Amino acid sequence: MTGKTVQEIIDNMTVMDDTFFHKLVEDKGFCEELLQVVLGNPNIRLVEATSQKSLRNVKGRSVVLDAHCVDISDDHFDLEMQHRDDDDHQKRVRYNSSNMDTYIAEKGTKFGQLPDIYVIYISKNDFFGEGRTLYHVDRILRETKKIVCNGTNEIYVNTEIDDGSDIAELMRIFKDPAVPNNSKFPRVCSGIRNLKEGKGRNEMCALVEEYAEQKAKEYAEQKVRECAEQKAKEVEKRLADRMLKDGKLTMEDISIYFPTLSDDDINELERG
């Protein structure tokens, strides 16, 4: 690996980095404490925490949850980490929650037996723009403003806004590459410390190396495709130029018979 060493990359990683987060949420204790803080419920007890849970959809696009958790009451939780701002966040939450329902419900399950589901969406930016660290999205009766619940819960957390709450304090840990030492969040701090300084560091090294190799492979394959496309375009340009000079095509025909040529390519042909 060129540039930064694997050790330096891990030292600079934060919880907001996908690779680091996906490894952290394999720790049930980390997930449990995170949910307790975000939901304000210290009684949450998890029986399962799975990183990158794949929910197959035979009729449409499947989904991979960053972390899927189940508690002792059989409530289901989707922990999502999003550090980019190039997606429709609310529709992503909608899609994830609908796939969770499909995954959870067995054939013949009555609607009243469906467990509650929670999507906790952690983002870098406050995309609602209301100046809060935490947002709950409720279903309401428009006419009376009464909150009605169907068991689906949307919770949005961001690291941009620090409103002085415990959740904001936790988010400061999430975006800081330093190894934390905060008595309010012992299991979160322990999980991070393990991957930065403890036994989990070797696993992180292997993951970073694997990730770097995969990215290098993807980059090489992309360059091969780009080179092939460029060569194909040059062949088309030469062929189009020859047909223009032979009078077999007019400039108006070029965009029809050579749709891969850009406007700049066509203008270049026109100039001769």
Of 234, 231, 241, 236, give the one whose Cα is nearest residue 269: 241
**pLDDT mean across residues, the chain:** 86
Measured CA to CA, the distance from residue 27 to residue 92 in angstroms comes to 25
Lowest mean pLDDT among 8-12, 19-23, 215-219: 215-219
- pLDDT band for position 1 (50/70/90)? very low
pLDDT digits (tens, 9 = 90+) for 198-219: 888 888 887 777 666 665 666 6
- What pLDDT sits at residue 208? 74
Quote the pTM value. Answer: 0.75
pLDDT digits (tens, 9 = 90+) for 63-106: 899 999 999 999 999 999 987 777 788 888 998 898 888 888 87
Question: For residue 84, what are the contacts with CB-CB under 8 A and spacing of at least 6?
Answer: 124
The one-letter amino acid at 122: I
- What pLDDT sits at residue 244? 78
61-71 burial code (b ≥16 CB/10 A, e <16): eebebbbbbbb
- What pLDDT sits at residue 118? 96
218 or 1, greater pLDDT? 218
Lowest mean pLDDT among 34-38, 104-108, 201-205, 218-222: 218-222
56 or 211, greater pLDDT? 56
- What pLDDT sits at residue 165? 95
Q: Span 237-254, mean pLDDT?
A: 78
Of 212, 203, 104, 198, give the one whose Cα is nearest residue 152: 104
- What pLDDT sits at residue 67? 94
- What pLDDT sits at residue 217? 66
Is the confidence at residue 10, as pLDDT, over 50? yes
The one-letter amino acid at 268: E
- What pLDDT sits at residue 144? 96
pLDDT digits (tens, 9 = 90+) for 132-169: 999 999 999 999 999 999 999 999 999 999 999 999 99
Q: Span 228-232, mean pLDDT?
A: 76
Domain boundaries, the chain: 6-198, 216-271
Residue 267, CA distances (Å) to 242, 246, 251 in order: 15, 18, 9
